Structure 1
């Protein structure tokens, strides 16, 4: 039996170079949103972005439209893209989902993480701490993102990871508000340290609790700032 399809069996179109460039532009912009390299309210002009990325405006425009369709960007009546400044209710929903999903991943990671993987995670947290000591916001954001997603990777749950990535794309720029106003340091050790101890002890519930505390502490600070000056409806 011949299982091959006839040449006209699927309605597929040829792949053009512009398609590949649009995908690359999408991935770069998506990563910038996740890591907080783009600011809430920032206007994204596709021609300027095209110059920066070294491509024509067309793939950038396609990337912006794709991100807007995912809720990561806002488009006005003229088609101009902006990084959204989240309404407090939307932010609260995103963070509730992150607590559920990232807490689940941390609990699973506590069952599966190997000593070498935990050591790698500890080294990442050390760079987070170094960034805080230097007052280097970019280093803190970069290494914090790496810490969270490395923890999720230890859970070996790729579907969950993709769901969390979609939430980070929407909420990533908002994390910049952590550096917009003085924030009192808590007397307790950083939640990352509690998570590392839980992973070493293979204590799933303690790992979930550490992630929950981490997310709730910084989201409470951001939520207060958003509530004080919510975006227009």
Structure 2
């Protein structure tokens, strides 16, 4: 039985869509902290987790490994990398530059509806923090930040920032429960939204940079604590 070329094209597109979907789901799990630093993954385990076949699971793993979000630990195993103090410092410096730029540019394009959407996201963050649902708080926090970044209308910049978040995402759980009690991020977000309302680019940039620095101080301490435990 002959197979029409268009049917083959449809099959290829379906496979590509499954691979893209698996990639997006894995990215979300990494940023949410479902896969924590040091977590080992196999193609079969990922396929079962995502309820897909091994082909899209393998494709997703390969893409994430190429972005340094995963590291190969053998022919069939990858590991979520543990962020050490040096890598954390480097990523933080790059985040300050790229995310600061995106935040400042966002002020040039923001409209009142955008700020309303950000306030809705902030309410979701607050609710998750109140309930101790830190994985949800992290995900809504990511949505908040990227809603601002996308306002910059610089898609290549946003793509670069997302790669950094994949590297730092699994370690962000180290922020809690301290950040839930002190609400450092909540304050920074409020300042950022007020600056956006005023279309104050430098003000938005300063607020987002402060958010990064506050997180960096807690994550740096967590890195030191982890290194101390490993040395014992």
TM-score by length of 2: 0.85
**Paired residue for 1:40?**
37
Q: What's the offset of the Cα at 1:182?
A: 7.8
**Paired residue for 2:159?**
162
1:88 paired to 2:85: yes
Q: Show the 5 A alignment for 1:1-233.
A: 15=12, 17-179=14-176, 185=182, 190-230=187-227
TM-score by length of 1: 0.84
Structure (1 or 2) with the larger CA radius of gyration: 1
Higher alpha-carbon deviation: 142-151 or 75-84:
75-84
Q: In 2 relative to 1, CA 187–132 (structure 1 residues): closer, same or farther, beyond 3 Å? A: closer
The structure that is helix-richer by fraction is: 2
Deviation digits for residues 105-152 of structure 1 (CA, Å, limit 9, x no counterpart):
111112221011111111111221222222221221121011000011
Contact persistence 2:192–2:207 (CA under 8 A): yes
Determine helix, strand or coil for the equivalent of 1:125.
Answer: helix
Q: What's the offset of the Cα at 1:187?
A: 8.1
Q: What's the offset of the Cα at 1:224?
A: 1.2
Deviation digits for residues 56-104 of structure 1 (CA, Å, limit 9, x no counterpart):
2233123212211221101113431111111211111111111111111
Give the whole-Å Cα distance in 2 for the aligned partners of 1:97 and 1:65. 24
Q: Paired residues, what number?
A: 220
Q: What's the offset of the Cα at 1:180?
A: 6.4
Q: In 2 relative to 1, CA 71–128 (structure 1 residues): closer, same or farther, beyond 3 Å? A: same
